[in-house]
Amino acid sequence: MSRAIPRVVITGVGAVTPIGNTATEFWQGMMEGRSGTAPITRFDATDFDTRFAAEVKSYDPLLAINRKEVQRMDLFAQFAMSAAVMAVENAGIDFEKTDKERVGVIFGSGIGGMWTYHHQQQNLYDRGGKPDRISPFFVPMLISDIAAGHIAIRYGLKGPNYGTVSACATSSHSIGDALMILQRGMADVMLAGGSEAVVCPMGIGGFNAMKALSTRNDDPATASRPFDKDRDGFVMGEGGGILVLETLEHAMNRGATILAELAGIGFTDDAYHITQPAAGGEGAVRSMKIAIQDAGLVPADIDYVNAHGTSTQFNDRSESAAIATVFGDHAQSLSVSSTKSMTGHLLGAAGAVEAIATTLAIVNSMVPPTINQITPDPDCTLDYVPNVPKKKVIRAALSNTFGFGGHNATLCFKAFSE
């Protein structure tokens, strides 16, 4: 006998971002159209082509993590734990009253502990190259999957647990994997998301070497300008986000407040180039089509697309073309925005933070804006919700994330109804 596929809902969110250190602050920052970009403070960037980034500000890890644990966690893992604690609280879930073997964590990072690598390499060479100067916590602090492990240890969660790594699509893949695990009946609750902390010399220097970052050092706050004719590259961001996902049955049995439904996913690859998207966004087209179909919807059901929208020449035009291909005439009725215009590009954390933005857009019937829309790009002809948010009932929405290596991930969310 075939088993009915359970519906999956979102019951909690937690975020640490450049425009707010809680999901509520993050939403308020988006509604204000606030830029999180400013001169770099984490290191001396004087000699770098790009001297600004979207850093997390006034962050206090001790609100969620004790001092000893902080010393044994890279910054990306600290962001992860802070976001997880907030999401669990927001979901109102008591794990002591939950079968912990039926609760899992999938949490990714595109790069992992770059600051840990930086500091430990300095220890090695600054102290004569002696290997005994390397911390015994170096490897556990460095590896990308450790964030998922920390979260599981914190709450005693013994269900499926691992990290995903797919560049900028990382945490969308985390969320999609969690959906599939819940649908297969392998868990009742999943915590899923991602974090990143690469505003460091090798992070900024590496992307500068690729000519991928904006160099608008004279006006950092307007440097991230997706779909604008004068964009000159993306802005590095940092932070983390996590969603609490549950089967509908589990959520209703415990009387949870349901924010939205995660209804479908689409995963594809361009198989084209290590960094550039395929012509016309061919892989993105398939990703969006699959997600819509997986949700049991048609393109006309979608009211909002949270775009990957990196503020790069290649992405913005190809993504706009892909949306036009998928939606046809309906594309002109869509609201499309890039919240990266405010947060910068959080790399492996982007998918989770933007999934939260999309969820809250549905909850609040408000579309976040694309700020820094100054000079329209004639090749980008959709409604990008320029500069100010838009009131709009959102029945269903997509969130796109695309990563180096040709990875494409689209999540489809719906307003919840029984």
Task: Report whether 239 contacts 56 (CB < 8 A).
Answer: yes
Q: Which residues are catalytic?
A: 168, 308, 345
